[in-house]
């Protein structure tokens, strides 16, 4: 269930009372945390010599970093 996912997730659900700037900043913060976690997973994939998984995770990480850059530009 969603409740179980939220209990084990490193990301926390928004309260719903944020203004638009706070919401965007929250997304940036979540994406930053995901980038850090992806880096850990990339290192594990490299240790396991799993190039396919590592490449996939690198692509996801790069995409998130691009989105972080765009959202930070929006925030000013």
Query: Does 69 reside within a domain?
Result: yes
- Region 16-39 average pLDDT: 95
What's residue 4's pLDDT?
A: 82
What's residue 59's pLDDT?
A: 98
Query: Does 25 reside within a domain?
Result: yes
CATH number for 42: 1.20.1260.10
pTM of the predicted model as reported, rounded to 2 decimal places: 0.84
Domain count, the chain: 1
Q: What is the pLDDT of residues 35-57, one digit of tens each?
A: 999 999 999 999 999 999 999 99
Task: Answer yes or no: is pLDDT of 5 > 80.
Answer: no
What token pair was written down for 1? 């269930």
Interatomic CA distance for residues 24 and 19, integer angstroms: 9
Question: What string of H, E and C letters represents the secondary structure of 3-69?
Answer: HHHHHHCCCCCCCCCCCHHHHHHHHHHHHHHHHHHHHHHHHHHHHCCCHHHHHHHHHHHHHHHHHHH
Q: Which domain holds residue 23?
A: 19-75
With beta carbons less than 8 A apart as the criterion, state whether 41 and 58 touch: no
- Region 31-38 average pLDDT: 96
């Amino acid at each position: 269930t969603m409740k179980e996912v939220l209990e084990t997730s490193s990301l926390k659900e928004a309260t719903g009372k944020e203004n638009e700037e706070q919401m965007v900043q929250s997304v940036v913060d979540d994406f930053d945390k995901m980038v850090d976690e992806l880096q850990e997973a990339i290192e594990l994939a490299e240790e396991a010599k799993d190039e396919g998984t590592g490449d996939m995770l690198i692509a996801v990480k790069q995409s998130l970093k691009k989105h972080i850059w765009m959202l930070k530009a929006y925030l000013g």
